[in-house]
Structure 1
């Protein structure tokens, strides 16, 4: 019997990749809970920043876009740049996509992946099953990659937690627990600003603390976008158009340039529709940096250096760090130690070649871990358009 390809992860990139592999007739086993990060690690009531055009999973055949799901579900079509997508609708769309194109999904966890001397990979599941795969695709999304800066981590000695002094934004589904509390949200991106708004609307007293160049700002609405520039899923700009549709040359740029662009392109900026819900409801403190965080009495207090050079203290009942995610192969502990040591990395991220293959033949990465090689488009669902067909084509040629 032909050894299957293992796809680890059932979010947008995992499901899209699996659909393309299946369409090529390649045996594939897909592991994970469908859309789990979106369902369990995003706040209730969240709306997607991305437009409908940027929110469809790429499929090998027509009929599986977000608009197609809306038609099948009998709900209003979400198609224009002014249509805003509730996270619940997006989760239901991903589950519908899975049922249609990846019906054999296995809701179990991969606990170990090791390279076999005879070729291929040995995988162990949390069910106890051991099996051999000819290739492995890592599509684990944001899982295990949440980033907590050192100046905040010191106040979370036992790790970030919603019930402790400091948590990470990915740990919050229900923000009503902070009703009547003083809450500080650290960050200036969409995650920070929307978390702040949802917490304020749930009855919390909220202050956003943005650091360094992270000035709180919001994007322009669709009707104010410049018309003389090319259109992309992220807005009208030549750079965004290039990053969206021509990511191939990105991996040939110097490492310092690649990491800078992944971090700064489409950086901290709130969605245009969030401004009215934010302004006047949430306090903002723009500071040079957070010097330290203390929680001696159980409640956190930030010592900050202000933009004019003063030192100030900001106290709250809880701090939410909306400080993003950082790819680190060392955090992917399901990959065996020997396998991780054989991987070529750049600042913790795998260095990928053509077709999203790593330095270990047969081991592929897609989604956020691929951003350092293929650019900022890999941070977004629309990155499946470029990644999934190319990964499947390379894998089919190399392991067909």
Structure 2
């Protein structure tokens, strides 16, 4: 029996694996390495976070993004956006040098093992057992598509995270829902390939991030708005540097911050591209959508009741993710029955990322309501990996395990891990 089994080989899973191996734990990690970064984002996209705030975490700190870029002769400069493909290549490099070998198979389901611990079934039927399991499944299991368009079918509606190549939409009329970076950058890429595209957003305006100030500034400026991996300012400093303190806030305050802090905004470097080529309609929400002659007929409205009607070929929902407990479908029903949830529907985790099922740990977006907005970004991987592995060590030493009902359901479909939001 292994000490730790990790489901997901993205930034969080790889960072946890690196720390666990360094701690002497017997660890196995499953998943297609950096798959969502390589396969669920179109070429031409950039990393919104600063390169210096996008490191995967190894205990010695030798495998940073800057180290990889220096080795490859690539720029990794403050205030200069980094292509997504460079970041994906960095993750592969990190996996080869700083983590245990990744088993590229997907995990079909996780359930309690007879006699204690957990067992995970791979997509080809092998069963692996471990004293503890860490789910680092990213964001893809939690895609959110508005109810008004959800029933249109895959040919007419998709999520922004479903596309590695936008060229299939060349020559079509496209509608992108949302006002965040994913919506705006997707729309810009569509327009730049000659596709007619509009952005429809519920918010009253599009927020744009500004060019970040230099890292080295007069001390008065730095004191007024210190740099952090989540942006400048003292509130971001709290979110970025003290997730442990964030967890001590009252649960309603944590939930509000997780949902609203660092809200939808476009990067400074995509603003001109959008404003010169994309029809942006703010203050509109979709009232209804129906198929008509092989296209989508949409009726949208403002808060004052003004209507907008149009027909489009395809809707891309860049409307984020909802990391609710019920969407952890990789877990067997007997585990779900013992999982405690917070009032916002996200899973409860303790101070070391352990759920209410002893030995079952979570990482990434699912923990944002417990440890703060940093868990929505790659930046949160370092804090998570160090503290979660300490929790696994404590669990392994204690020999604790929970009693669950007998198995009654087959394993779920293989889980596909996804990128942390950017």
TM-score by length of 2: 0.89
Partner of 1:219 in structure 2?
209
Q: Is the 8 A contact 2:297 2:310 kept in 1?
A: yes
Q: 1:171 aligns with which of 149, 152, 162?
A: 162
Distance 1:320 1:126 in 2: 30
Q: 1:271 aligns with which of 264, 267, 288?
A: 267
Distance 2:161 2:127 in 1: 31
Alignment of 1:376-391 (within 5 A): 376-391=373-388
Task: From the superposition, tell whether residues 76 and 44 of structure 1 become closer, same or farther in structure 2 (CA, over 3 Å).
Answer: closer
Distance 2:202 2:120 in 1: 42
Cα deviation code 1:88-111 (max 9, x no counterpart): 000000000000022421011111
Cα drift, residue 318 of structure 1: 1.1
Partner of 2:237 in structure 1?
241
Q: Is the 8 A contact 1:349 1:372 kept in 2?
A: yes
Distance 1:16 1:322 in 2: 27
Alignment of 1:99-248 (within 5 A): 99-156=96-153, 161=154, 164-213=155-204, 215-223=205-213, 227=222, 228-248=224-244
Distance 1:194 1:392 in 2: 36
Distance 1:179 1:250 in 2: 45
Distance 1:147 1:333 in 2: 15
Q: 1:78 aligns with which of 76, 80, 87?
A: 76
Q: Is the 8 A contact 1:37 1:142 kept in 2?
A: no
Partner of 1:94 in structure 2?
91
Partner of 2:401 in structure 1?
none
Distance 2:44 2:330 in 1: 32
Cα deviation code 1:73-95 (max 9, x no counterpart): 2x134032x12110000000000
Q: Is the 8 A contact 2:149 2:288 kept in 1?
A: yes
How many residue pairs match? The answer is 390
Q: 1:392 aligns with which of 379, 382, 389?
A: 389
Runs of 4 or more consecutive aligned structure 1 residues displaced over 6 Å after TM superposition? none
Cα drift, residue 307 of structure 1: 4.6
Distance 1:91 1:202 in 2: 23
Partner of 1:55 in structure 2?
54
Partner of 2:313 in structure 1?
317
Task: From the superposition, tell whether residues 313 and 224 of structure 1 become closer, same or farther in structure 2 (CA, over 3 Å).
Answer: farther
Distance 2:269 2:75 in 1: 19
Are 2:28 and 1:29 aligned? yes
Q: Is the 8 A contact 2:110 2:121 kept in 1?
A: yes
Cα drift, residue 180 of structure 1: 1.8
Q: Is the 8 A contact 1:167 1:320 kept in 2?
A: yes
Distance 1:201 1:318 in 2: 17
Q: Is the 8 A contact 1:357 1:364 kept in 2?
A: yes
Partner of 1:355 in structure 2?
352
Q: 1:253 aligns with which of 249, 252, 259?
A: 249
Secondary structure of the equivalent of 1:252? Answer: coil
Cα drift, residue 289 of structure 1: 2.1
Cα drift, residue 312 of structure 1: 1.8
Secondary structure of the equivalent of 1:350? Answer: coil
Distance 1:224 1:298 in 2: 51
